Amino acid sequence: MLVVNVVGARPNFMKISPLMRAMKRRESFESVLVHTGQHYDDNMSKNLFRDLELPEPDLHLGVGSGSHAWQTAEVMVRFEKVLADLTPDLVLVVGDANSTLACSITATKLGVSIAHVEAGLRSFDRNIPEELNRVVTDRLSDYLFTTCQEANDNLGREGIGKEKIFLVGNVMIDSLLAKLEQAKQSDILNRLGMESAKYIVMTLHRPSNVDNQKTLRNILHGLNVIQQKLPVIFPAHPRTLKQITEFGLSGQIAEMTHLHLVEPLGYLDFLSLMSQSKLVLTDSGGIQEETTVLGIPCLTLRENTERPVTVTEGTNTLVGSDPNRIIDEAMKVLNGYGKVGQVPKLWDGRASERIVTILEKEVLG
């Protein structure tokens, strides 16, 4: 079976990597890797490919940045030619990026079957573009691979037949567990002058947080108090830095003497940093999952999450952008009362193997 695997944005790489390794171990699969170029930082992409041991893309569409409409349309135009040339048996998409949606629409129009990995996740907030991408991709997909029972329930409520839905676990955790020992060899703590469990990690990139001046100010107000208690390592997204400058918040950042702004990190360095931290502050979906498996308390700087299992079972707490709530929850962790969770069912590093086994049976018969 010829499978076209699609990556576009940074989290896609962590999800596709174990899937392609699992396919490579089976004689029944021939896999092609298509990079849409939605994630357009060449250096960061190269680092991710190296850290995750991904093969170089067979095809790079080179789409780059733009509005949601432009980016989605451009991926569709370029991906249509890929499918016409390759005539694959299956298109495999992961997550909820614009590339995920665009390639799913294109495949549907050309009559190519679609497998969606990480299906059924819902925040129930249609103001988030990724939510629309998830809903439409799931509606178009022939095989829906889910990470948790809540995702199965969401799909069922939307009228998707049970025969299409497969609870398999979390492929992002496959990457984490496969690379954790290697990540422990990183010297990132030495480079940053930090000691294990004596620092906090923060990531911040979502438009709802960084494009709204009031919201960003509130988060930074909470951060200012927290960094006085324990150093904060902040691998800063270029978009976030741009907004900090445009909103005139650079002075506020400069006054935080225990806040350490660093360049975006590679997968292994960041995994090492996160796994040895005292606390993580984030608005990333994947990091909510990774901290749950690592047993690290996580405060999510959002009002909702499409990954509620990380809250109900894991180490995640939703705090939004209210500085008082951010500070209160952070102080609980720093005072030894952090949330203790458990690893969700099937988050065991073998989700990719389950997926390729199911595809062999369902597609090849």
pLDDT at 179 over 70: yes
Locate 102 and state its tokens: 């665009």
What's the average model confidence in pLDDT over 6-22? 94
Considering the candidates 39, 116, 205, 260, report the single residue annotated as catalytic. 205
The secondary structure of 108-121, three-state, reads HHCCCEEEEECCCC
Residue 187: exposure state from Cβ atoms within 10 A (0-12, 13-18, ≥19): exposed
Residue 345 CA to residue 146 CA, distance in Å, equals 11
Calculated CA dihedral for residues 56, 240, 123, 354, nearest 10 degrees:
20
With beta carbons less than 8 A apart as the criterion, state whether 192 and 295 touch: no
pLDDT in tens, 295-352: 999 999 999 999 999 999 999 999 999 999 999 999 999 999 999 999 999 999 999 9
Decide if pLDDT at 43 tops 60.
no
CB contact at 8 A, 73 and 64: no
CA 63 vs CA 29, 35, 73, 78, 98: distances in Å: 27, 9, 10, 8, 11
The reply to whether 221 belongs to the active site is no
Domains of the chain: 2-170+347-364 (3.40.50.2000), 180-334 (3.40.50.2000)
Query: Edge-to-edge strands of the sheet including 90-94?
Result: 59-60, 30-35, 2-7, 90-94, 113-117, 143-146, 165-167
pLDDT at 282: 98
Q: At 239, is the secondary structure helix, strand, or coil? A: helix
Maximum distance among all Cα pairs of the chain, rounded to whole angstroms: 63
Tell me the per-residue pLDDT of 247-299, one tens digit each, with 9 for 90 and over.
999 999 999 999 999 999 999 999 999 999 999 999 999 999 999 999 999 99
The predicted pLDDT at position 38 comes to 80
Residue 348: CB atoms within 10 A of its CB come to 15
Note whether 286 and 252 are within 8 A (CB).
no
Strand, coil or helix: 315: coil
Q: What is the mean pLDDT of residues 47-64?
A: 91
pTM: 0.96
Query: For the segment 125-166, what is each residue's pLDDT rounded down to a tens digit?
Result: 999 999 999 999 999 999 999 999 999 999 999 999 999 999
H helix count then E strand count, the chain: 17, 13
Q: Coil, strand or helix: which one is 182? A: helix
Q: Is the pLDDT of residue 15 over 60?
A: yes
What is the spatial distance between Cα 319 and Cα 330, in angstroms, rounded to a whole number? 10
